[in-house]
Amino acid sequence: MSRRWLVRRIGVAIVVLFVALLINFILPRLMPGDAADIYATAGRMTEQERMAIVQRFGLDQPLWTQFTKYIVNSFQGNFGYSFTYYPSTVMSKVVQALPWSLFLIINAMILQVIIAFILGATSAWKAGGKFDATTQALSLALWATPMFWLAMLALYFFGAQLHWFPIGGQATAAANYSSFFERIGDYYYHATLPIAVLVINQFGGYQLIMRNTMVTTIKEHYITTAEAKGVSERAVKYRHAARNAMLPMVTSVGLRFSLAVAGSIFTEMIFNYNGIGRLIFQSVQMRDYPVLQGCFFILSCSVIIANLLVDILYHRLDPRIRH
């Protein structure tokens, strides 16, 4: 991996981050009213507290100064206070919620990739066959299904009707875990439905990429070589073809991370899962702009970082570009 490549890649990430901050900076200032109200809801704060915020964010100063102060504050993790939960800071709300969202997203993405790997490889193995047609039709149909609706149905049938899974929350309330495994088990028990909905709705995208790459991969000469070697069909399919065909799918994880983020907003909202998504939903309802912006920023950050990590991983996975 060349250093130049890495530097360039990080440069892009920083620019995008900057744009996210810029959006956050500009939007509230386009609204009518006092700029200080962005950070301090009228009436909830004492005049003293209000002045402290005006001071800190330079709200009585020219726009340029405001901007530089905004950037500095952002990098210190200071995004002001929540309207609804004052005096909680935006950062504290976001930091509480983020791990839960990442828990959902990462688990879901791993499962999606595994399912897509197997289904994509299998449907391409006999491209144009019945299995191929069925999986393609099915994954397109699931992709076109609104995530939140799927979540509502899952909650209703498996939660409310069948009582197989809890109908909300991310952990049993006031639970006393006797061991680490019990804790993790409880987390997964609560996350099963949200993760399942995320996986079902979104694996299709990966599957399509996997399948299409696999279709071209199995025409490669080295697949013929592997077959000629007398290796079992399974080994040819997975060890030789799918292993090569998975690279584009793995790279797409970076770009599709933001889709998973979008999906988690809906699932968390429906399942009352206290992650970033639910925080966003609550902030939308309460018009809690600072928290909303904080969430947007933190999600942008995670997407950017995920993109970066995947690009680096891709360089590791494909020996051809490693040098």
Partner 1 sequence: MPLLEVTDLRTHYYTEAGPVKAADGVSFTLEKGESIGIAGESGCGKTTVAMSLMRLIKGGAVVGGKIMLGDLSLLDMEMDEFRKVRWERISLISQAAMGALNPVYTIGSQIVEAIRTHQQCSKKEAWDRARGLLSQVKVDPSRVKNFPHELSGGMRQRVMIAMALACDPDIVIADEPTTALDVVTQVQVLRLLIDLQKRLDLALIYISHELSVLGQACDKIIIMYAGKIVEMGPTAKIFSEPKHPYTQKLLGSLMDIHAAGAFPESIPGQPPDLIDPPKGCRFWPRCTTGEAICETEEPALVEIEPGRFVACRQLNKAINE
Partner 2 sequence: MQDQEQRSSWWQTALKSLFAWWPEFRKSKIGITGLIIVVIMTTLILGASVFASHGPFEKDISIGWGGGNRYWTSTWDNQGDVSLTDEGVAYRSNPDPSITEYHVRFQSNGSIKRSFDLSNTLEVGPHFTFQAKAVSFADGDEATCLVSADGVNWRTAAIWENGDDDGTYHLYEIDLTTDPNWRSRNYWIAFEADMSSSDANFYIDEVAVALSAPGYSIVSPKDSFEPYAKTYEAPSWEHILGTNSQSEDVWSRLLYSGQNSLMIGFVAALLITSIGSGLGLMSGYFGGLIEELVMRLADILLILPRLPLLIVLSAYLTPGPWTVIMLLTVTGWAGIARSTRAQTLSVKEHSYVEASKSVGASHIRIIVQHILPNVAGIVIAAFVMEVVVAILVESGLSFLGLGSLSHPTWGVMLHFAQTDAAFTWNAWWWIIPPGACIALLGLAFAYIGNTLNDRFVLRLGNRRKG
**Minimum CB–partner distance for residue 233 and partner 1 (Å):** 8
Coil, helix or strand for 81?
Answer: strand
Phi, psi at residue 45, to the nearest 5°?
A: -110, 155
- Under the binding rule (CB under 8 A), the answer on residue 240 touching partner 1 is yes
For partner 2, the closer of residues 236 and 257 by Cβ is: 257
Q: Are 180 and 204 a contacting pair, CB within 8 Å?
A: no
> Residue 71 is encoded by which pair of tokens?
């950037």
The identity of residue 212, as a single letter, is N
Q: Which residues of 73-82 are buried (b: 16+ CB within 10 A; e: fewer)?
A: ebeeebbbbb
- Binding residues for partner 2, how many (CB under 8 A)? 54
- Under the binding rule (CB under 8 A), the answer on residue 15 touching partner 2 is yes
For partner 1, the closer of residues 6 and 235 by Cβ is: 235
For partner 2, the closer of residues 107 and 293 by Cβ is: 293
> Can you point out the beta strands (E) in 24-169?
none
Contacts of 163 (CB under 8 A, 6+ apart): none
- Under the binding rule (CB under 8 A), the answer on residue 300 touching partner 2 is yes
Instruction: Give the range of 21-29, 39-47, 117-125, 192-200 binding partner 2 by CB under 8 A.
Output: 21-29
**Minimum CB–partner distance for residue 223 and partner 1 (Å):** 8
Cα 271-254-15 angle, rounded to 5 deg: 110
**Minimum CB–partner distance for residue 234 and partner 2 (Å):** 27
For partner 1, the closer of residues 53 and 317 by Cβ is: 317
> Residue 189 is encoded by which pair of tokens?
């028990």
For partner 2, the closer of residues 137 and 175 by Cβ is: 137
- Under the binding rule (CB under 8 A), the answer on residue 315 touching partner 1 is no
**Minimum CB–partner distance for residue 316 and partner 2 (Å):** 21
Look at residue 189 and give the partner it binds from partner 2, partner 1, none, a contact being a CB closer than 5 to 8 Å depending on partner kind. Answer: none
Q: Which of 84, 96, 192, 244 binds partner 1 (CB under 8 A)?
A: 244
Distance, CA of 93 to CA of 282 (rounded, Å): 12
- Under the binding rule (CB under 8 A), the answer on residue 123 touching partner 2 is no
- Binding residues for partner 1, how many (CB under 8 A)? 21
Site string for partner 2, 22-61 (x = CB under 8 A): -xx--xx-xx------------------------------
Residue identified by tokens 């901007």 is 67
Phi, psi at residue 81, to the nearest 5°?
A: -110, 155
- Under the binding rule (CB under 8 A), the answer on residue 216 touching partner 1 is no
Q: Which residues of 294-309 are buried (b: 16+ CB within 10 A; e: fewer)?
A: bbbbbbbebbbebbbe
- Under the binding rule (CB under 8 A), the answer on residue 143 touching partner 2 is yes
Q: Which of 249, 250, 307, 314 binds partner 2 (CB under 8 A)?
A: 307
Query: What do you get for the CA distance between the two ends of the chain, in Å?
Result: 6
Q: Are 89 and 100 a contacting pair, CB within 8 Å?
A: no
Q: How far is CA 122 from the centre of its chain?
A: 27
Using CB under 8 A as the criterion, which residues of the chain lie in contact with partner 1 when the complex forms?
220-222, 224-233, 240, 243-244, 317-320, 323
